[in-house]
Amino acid sequence: MILPSVVEAIGDTPLVELSRICARLELDGRIVAKLDYLLPGFSKKDRAAKAIIEMARRDGTLAPGQMVVELTSGNMGTGLAIVCGILGHPFVAVMSAGNSVERARMMRALGAEVVIVPQAAGSKPGEVSGADLAMVDEAAQRITQERGAFRADQFGHVGNPKAHESGTGPEIWAQSDGAVTAFCDFAGSGGTLAGAAAYLGPKGVRCYAVEPEGARAIAGETVTQAEHPIQGGGYAMGDLVHLNGTALAGHLSVTGDAAREGARLLAQSEGIFAGFSAGANLAAAVDLLRGPEKGGCVAIVMCDSGLKYLSTDLWE
């Protein structure tokens, strides 16, 4: 089948069993990984980008040819650059200087205008804090107003979780033949977790939020260490709109080191070249099989490609 555009290639990624890792770590149970790093923009955010833009075009909030603006760690921006480029919308990505340079280069290559916002005082390069994200959001709001643009608003637009409720969740369930007993995801906007849980939860799948150790805001804990290297999430934001009303079985935490080790283990044991958040998801799934989900089947998402971290310490 020949697709009319690359936008139609967004979705239906493979689900792979991580049997080598489970054997190496002597785990009682299974881990299955959704390879969303194989999507056109090399990340799961392609799904949300497509859903938000198509929904906005249908309901008239996005006019033909109108500019689109969004804050991004790089993944949502890449997805939007692809979708907007195909559908004829100029796109401006607003991004913190703390994110890896590969992301900005990729978005520019795809035709996006990229605005880099300096980090907040005390922030570390390679680590994006909630304060950094607030500054990016302020810049995105200003640019949206100045240019009469449409704000994609991944933290608020319903298209984000809907993409995973209609795509990621059903795909995992069908591809596993209903064998999945748990799902966990490192939360950024919360869209993947909320959407997948909306579909998988009613089928008895227990869903867990994953956050950085010391920054478990979703769990309702006091943030003691907002700094971490896991780009694309863990912003120490406890008020994620998409997760309002989401039934969670629990809250997990991972360290930056555990996420780094997880990503390297995925590459070396399974040939899956994914990023920091995929490593975080693996670390959390391992904890689940050593704890409350022992003997079960845990599904995780390989959120983005390891190619987006070549300038970081992930592969040193």
Residues classed as catalytic: 45, 277
Rg (CA), the chain: 18
Cα dihedral sign, 166-230-300-241: negative
Cα angle 160, 234, 137; round to 5: 65
DSSP the chain: ---SSGGGGSS---EEE-HHHHHHTT-SSEEEEE-GGGSTTSBTHHHHHHHHHHHHHHHTSS-TT--EEEEESSHHHHHHHHHHHHHT--EEEEEETTS-HHHHHHHHHTT-EEEEEPPPTTPPTT---HHHHHHHHHHHHHHHHHHTPEE--TTT-THHHHHIIIIIHHHHHHHTTT---EEEEE-SSSHHHHHHHHHHGGGT-EEEEEEETT--TTTTPPPS----S-TTS----S--GGGTT---SEEEEE-HHHHHHHHHHHHHHH---B-HHHHHHHHHHHHHHTTTTTTSEEEEE--BBGGGGTTSGGG-
